């Protein structure tokens, strides 16, 4: 069933229903270019390449396979900035934000970020901690 399907429902007496629609937005014509432009001219900050140092230890968090986020565009652009700052690949960890989801597979990480990124950088999953009282 899609979100566009309509169904009749009866609400209990005294209940009301409000339908919210998202604001319409215009997709960016070129997300690669927009990402590079945003990283080249960040708002109220220096460029990442000017903030990072070669001895920096960096963690970049990306979404798991359940989220439709263009991580394959965003993460490589951030990595390019870090490379320009001479941050070595071994100082960079890519953290898949699985939250309460199952661990991601290597193939899912490749699908999110590309073989070149996964082949070069350490990519790990968020580990959930279970606490019992």
Domain boundaries, the chain: 31-125
pLDDT at 3: 54
Q: Domain spanning 31-125: which superfamily? A: LarA, N-terminal domain (3.40.50.11440)
Helices and strands per DSSP (H, E), number in the chain: 5, 3
pTM of the model: 0.79
Burial 3-17 (b: 16+ CB within 10 A, else e): eeeeeeeeeeeeeee
Confidence grade of residue 129 (pLDDT, cut at 50, 70, 90):
low
Of 77, 53, 73, give the one whose Cα is nearest residue 63: 73
The CA distances from residue 133 to 21, 59, 76, 89, 130, in Å, are: 41, 31, 41, 40, 10
Q: What is the pLDDT of residue 1?
A: 46
Closest by CA to 64, choosing from 120, 126, 118, 129, is 126
Average pLDDT over residues 110-131: 90
pLDDT tens per residue, range 5-62? 677 888 899 998 888 888 998 989 999 999 999 999 999 999 999 999 999 999 999 9
Q: For the segment 78-100, what is each residue's pLDDT rounded down to a tens digit?
A: 999 999 999 999 999 999 999 88
| 47 close to 66: Cβ distance less than 8 angstroms | no
Nearest CA-CA partner of 47 in 37, 61, 55:
37
């Amino acid at each position: 069933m899609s979100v566009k399907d309509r169904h009749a429902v009866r609400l209990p007496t005294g209940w009301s229903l409000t339908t919210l629609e998202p604001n319409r937005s215009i997709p960016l014509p070129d997300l690669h270019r927009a990402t590079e432009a945003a990283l080249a001219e960040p708002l109220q900050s220096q460029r990442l390449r000017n903030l990072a140092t070669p001895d920096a230890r960096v963690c970049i968090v990306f979404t798991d396979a359940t989220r439709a986020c263009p991580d394959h565009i965003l993460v490589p652009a951030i990595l390019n900035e870090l490379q320009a700052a001479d941050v070595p690949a071994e100082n960079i960890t890519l953290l898949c934000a699985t939250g309460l989801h199952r661990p991601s597979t290597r193939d899912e990480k490749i699908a999110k970020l590309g073989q070149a990124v996964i082949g070069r950088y350490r990519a790990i999953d968020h580990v959930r901690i279970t606490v019992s009282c």
